[in-house]
Amino acid sequence: MAGMVEKRGLGLWLTHLGLILGVAVIAFPIWLAFIASTVSQPEIVRPPMPLLPGDRFLENYRDALYSGVNVPVARMLFNSFVMAMGIALGKIAISLLSAFAIVYFRFPGRLVFFWLIFLTLMLPVEVRIVPTYEVAARFGMLNSYPGLIFPLIASATATFLFRQFFLTVPDELAEAARVDGARPMRFFVDILLPMSRTNIAALFVILFIYGWNQYLWPLLITTEPEMNTIVMGIKQMFPAGDDVADWPVIMATSILAMLPPVLVVMFMQKLFVRGLVESEK
Amino acid sequence: MATVGLTDVRKTFGRTEVIHGIDLEIADGEFIVIVGPSGCGKSTLLRMVAGLETVSAGEVRIGERRVNEVEPMDRDIAMVFQNYALYPHMSVFDNMAYGLRIAGRPKAEIAERVRAAARMLQLEEYLDRRPRQLSGGQRQRVAMGRAIVRKPAVFLFDEPLSNLDAKLRVQMRLEIKALQRELGVTALYVTHDQVEAMTLADRMVVMNEGRAEQVGAPLEVYARPATMFVAGFIGSPPMNFLAPADLNGAAAPALLAALPPGTAAIGIRPEHLELVPADRAVLSGSARYTEALGAETLIHLARPEGQTLTMRIAGSPEGIAPDAPLHLAAAPATIRAFDREGRAIVPT
Ligand SMILES: Nc1ncnc2c1ncn2[C@@H]1O[C@H](COP(=O)(O)OP(=O)(O)OP(=O)(O)O)[C@@H](O)[C@H]1O
Ligand SMILES: [Mg+2]
């Protein structure tokens, strides 16, 4: 970056040493997981643990993807993907619309709704999990995608983000659009949405990862292995009782579980960073 | 290309009335400037004509049609905002074309109309740019262009030049006037800058605290202000106000006798004061400081009674020593008389 202060000499080396150490500490467990996913079961359980990749990479990953332990990992990846996408897109759609309503329309009970939305901030899934489960069960949403997605969509964080952003959009823009003949939804689609796109991208990344990493809720709501998501599915792969854990496959699954969020961050990084640091006005 | 009529138009926000009943008839093709101090309700009035504010009472007509309940887009108006309000994510072309697209015009016609407007405003090379890649003056032109392409019957401007630097403001002022002439569109223009008001207006409306104090041609308003407020607001430096009793020079009795009955205050424009020998003076004072502007000089005088006066003389201030006593007079015809409520007393 051009604006950064340039450092020279010893300071530079020390800085890099520190950074490398930090990265190593964080990356080491992941490296171990990767190693474990490329060797055979006996190699893992016999100390010392290997630190270099083995030769069973393809076999282990194929086993994981196509047969897994309870259900093929490919199935769990798909479930997780549907859930994460559903949560991210659903939340963005709902929060964009509700922020639009709250900022641009004067309707009776506007403040009440605003505070109701605000209240949900204080009630994350974990707090309202028992009643939410009850409701989901009565709607027959156990072991279904709607059951995985809907209860997690309702939250206010994103609504707030968009509300704050919409408040910075000058009123004159809405008025100019009105004079130009744009009805409210047209203004929303033609003007507000394109102006929010960096915010949307940033939020998408955050929400996708949030959805992907859900653990407790999928654990409750899915009982059939076919509906397991990958993050909770890993736990389900641990054997009960005296069975031997198939560590290479479990580790391969862990690595696979990490990939999609990484890919999302990588592909959306540019938009994501822009969305965090600037808002287009 | 329409007349605009306001009949006893009022605006109330909550319980406060901010526009207290304005009547105005605007002829087709006329350029009306609404001028007044900050907070007097100029924007509110304009926005009621635009349809961006509801009309609390009274009637707004555009081309003989009552439009109180009509949406802005159906009023056949176009508005230019103070901060331009360009759509930041659209190109200059799209900014100008947006209204036409919504109206469902054919593509070819849109392109042609946008290009014609761009040509008129010298924006042709910028059509692909985003607003943030333009200078303030260019953005201003795009905002104008967006108004022009719609071929509205009425242009509404809310302080369109106040974000520009002084030089550009003068240039854009001339362009706006030329454009309005060329298109023959009725225009309603809000400003707090009296120079803009004087130079642009066919007629100007001087507003104060939600009332129209005077409506008239600029020079008419300047020469015969209807109230002390108008007299003080239009003209820079402002008119000097004095009580009749303040006139105490040798020639004062004759002048006082000529004032209409009921005169509570008199007003003299700075350029109407002249230096005279003591025996012809109606006023005296000492020069406090002078501002030489090249072509003219402003002299600020202190009076023994404590008020200050401003006079404007042509040329440079040679021969005026600081604190020297000066004797002043003004031609009786140039002196405005006001009654106790501040209304001008028209000599009968
Ligand atoms: N939405 C509103 N709610 C309440 N009061 C308002 C509202 N809009 C304007 N006002 C009040 O109405 C009065 C006139 O405001 P307006 O914006 O028309 O003034 P203005 O003449 O355009 O001033 P300026 O030259 O500063 O733009 C002000 O006293 C203002 O406080
Ligand atoms: Mg204003």
| Mean pLDDT of the region A127-134 | 87
Does A181 lie at the interface with B, CB-CB under 8 angstroms? yes
Q: What are residue B311's DSSP bridge partners?
A: B299
Per-block mean pLDDT, blocks of 10 residues, chain B (348 long): 91 94 94 94 95 94 92 92 92 94 93 92 91 90 91 92 87 89 92 91 94 94 94 92 88 87 92 90 88 89 86 83 84 91 81
The Cα–Cα gap between B189 and B203 comes to 11
Residue nearest to ligand 1 atom 17, measured at CA? B43
- Closest ligand 1 atom to B42 CA: 21
Q: What is the pTM of this model?
A: 0.82
Asked, as a colleague might, if the bond just before A131 is cis with ω within 30 of 0, I would say: no
pLDDT band at A1 (very low <50, low <70, confident <90, very high): very low
The yes-or-no answer to whether B4-233 and B240-338 have a common fold is no
3-state secondary structure (DSSP) of residue A204? helix
pLDDT at A85: 94
Q: Which of A165, A175, A180, A281 to mutate to test the interface with B (most CBs of B within 10 A)?
A: A180
Distance from CA of A182 to the nearest CA of B (A): 7
Domain ranges of chain B: 4-233, 240-338
The Cα–Cα gap between B202 and A181 comes to 30
3-state secondary structure (DSSP) of residue B266? strand
Residues in chain B with CB shorter than 8 Å from the CB of A179 are 50-52, 72-73, 77-79, 99
> B85 and A176 in contact by Cβ < 8 A?
yes
- Residue A236 Cα to ligand 1 middle (Å): 65
Comparison of pLDDT for A118 and A167, the residue scoring more: A167
Mutate to test the pocket of ligand 1, among B11, B44, B192, B194 (most ligand atoms within 8 A of CB): B44
pLDDT at A92: 93
Residue A131 has pLDDT above 80, yes or no: yes
Torsion from C-alpha of A256, A257, A258, A260, nearest 10 degrees: 90
> B87 and A179 in contact by Cβ < 8 A?
no
Q: Is B27 left (phi over 0), alpha (psi -120 to 50) or beta?
A: beta
Q: How far is CA A200 from CA A97, A99, A158, A271, B281, in A?
A: 13, 13, 9, 9, 76
Residue A256 has pLDDT above 70, yes or no: yes
The Cα–Cα gap between A251 and B330 comes to 101
Residue A221 has pLDDT above 90, yes or no: no
Q: How many cross-chain Cβ pairs, A to B, lie less than 8 Å apart? A: 58
Q: What percent of chain A has pLDDT over 70?
A: 93
Amino acid at A75: R
Residue nearest to ligand 1 atom 9, measured at CA? B44
Is the Cα dihedral A197, A171, B135, B121 positive or negative? positive
CATH architecture of A52-277: Orthogonal Bundle (1.10)
pLDDT at A116: 83
The model's pLDDT over A261-281, given as tens digits with 9 standing for 90+, comes to: 999 888 888 776 765 565 444
> B72 and A178 in contact by Cβ < 8 A?
yes
Distance from CA of B51 to the nearest CA of A (A): 8
Residue A227 has pLDDT above 60, yes or no: yes
Domain ranges of chain A: 1-36, 52-277
Across A44-58, A120-134, B251-265, the highest mean pLDDT is recorded for B251-265
Distance from CA of B103 to the nearest CA of A (A): 7
Any residues with Cβ below 6 Å from ligand 1, and which?
Answer: B 13, 18, 36, 38-44, 192
Could you tell me how many residues make up chain B?
348
Q: What is the value of ipTM here, to two decimals? A: 0.84
> B98 and A182 in contact by Cβ < 8 A?
yes
Across A156-160, A257-261, B57-61, the highest mean pLDDT is recorded for B57-61
Total Cβ atoms within 10 A of residue B343:
15
* CATH entry, B4-233, from 3.30.390.30, 3.10.20.30, 2.60.120.1090, 3.40.50.300: 3.40.50.300
B235 phi and psi, to 5 degrees?
Answer: 110, 135
Residues in chain B with CB shorter than 8 Å from the CB of A281 are 88
> B52 and A179 in contact by Cβ < 8 A?
yes
Residue A4 has pLDDT above 70, yes or no: no
* CATH entry, B240-338, from 3.40.50.2000, 1.10.340.30, 1.20.120.1200, 2.40.50.140: 2.40.50.140
Mutate to test the pocket of ligand 1, among B15, B16, B40, B206 (most ligand atoms within 8 A of CB): B40
Does A239 lie at the interface with B, CB-CB under 8 angstroms? no
Distance from CA of B344 to the nearest CA of A (A): 39
pLDDT band at A66 (very low <50, low <70, confident <90, very high): confident
pLDDT at A5: 58
Residues in chain A with CB shorter than 8 Å from the CB of B81 are 172, 175-176
Task: Give the 3-state secondary structure of B57-100.
Answer: EEEEEECCEECCCCCHHHCCEEEECCCCCCCCCCCHHHHHHHHH
Total Cβ atoms within 10 A of residue B130:
17
Rg of chain A over CA atoms, in angstroms? 24
B105: which residues sit within 8 A by CB, 6+ positions away? B113
State the burial class of residue B161 (Cβ atoms within 10 Å of its Cβ: 0-12, 13-18, 19+): buried
The model's pLDDT over A172-190, given as tens digits with 9 standing for 90+, comes to: 999 999 999 999 999 999 9
Rg of chain B over CA atoms, in angstroms? 24
Give the single-character DSSP code of B103: T
Is the Cα dihedral B141, B143, B147, B150 positive or negative? positive
CA B292 to chain centroid, in Å, comes to: 26
Residue of B nearest to A197 (CA): B89
Residue A18 has pLDDT above 90, yes or no: yes
Does A94 lie at the interface with B, CB-CB under 8 angstroms? no
